[in-house]
Amino acid sequence: MSEALDEALADAKKYNCNNDDITAAIIKHLGIAAVSKDAKLVSCSDPSELERVRESFLKKKLGLTDSDADLDAAIKEVCETMKDSRNKLRATFYHLLAIKYGKESLFA
């Protein structure tokens, strides 16, 4: 898990996610998904993956009640922010969404 955390911390810094405690808490929340080769990444080209981000993270973990269209727009915005990264780490992706919605305190 330490390797996953180190990788996530370095990646998060590229996107100005400078609160290491939040990144660490997101890694803890992800559990085994943070180290699994496929699960640790978000595929912005996979509709079912983006739906999973919306339903499992935005609605369940962050408790958001915005419309699916609004949540999908936020996900696409993060995809755009991370477009230069071939491998979009889930921890960084979730960190950016938490910042967007002002929900960092859930991981503090």
Per residue in 62-86, pLDDT (tens digit) is: 999 999 999 999 999 999 999 999 8
CATH class, range 2-107: mainly alpha
Cα diameter, the chain: 36
| Cα–Cα distance, 28 to 5 (Å, whole number) | 9
Asked if 15 and 82 touch (Cβ cutoff 8 Å), the reply is: yes
Q: In the chain, which residues have pLDDT < 70?
A: 1
Q: What is the pLDDT, as a whole number, of residue 35?
A: 87
In the chain, domain spans: 2-107
Bridge-partner residues for 88, per DSSP? 42
Across the chain, mean pLDDT equals: 94
pTM for this model (two decimals): 0.94
Q: Which residues contact 85 (CB under 8 A, 6 or more apart)?
A: 11, 14
List the structure tokens of 15: 């996107």
Q: What is the pLDDT, as a whole number, of residue 1?
A: 61
| Cα–Cα distance, 76 to 3 (Å, whole number) | 28
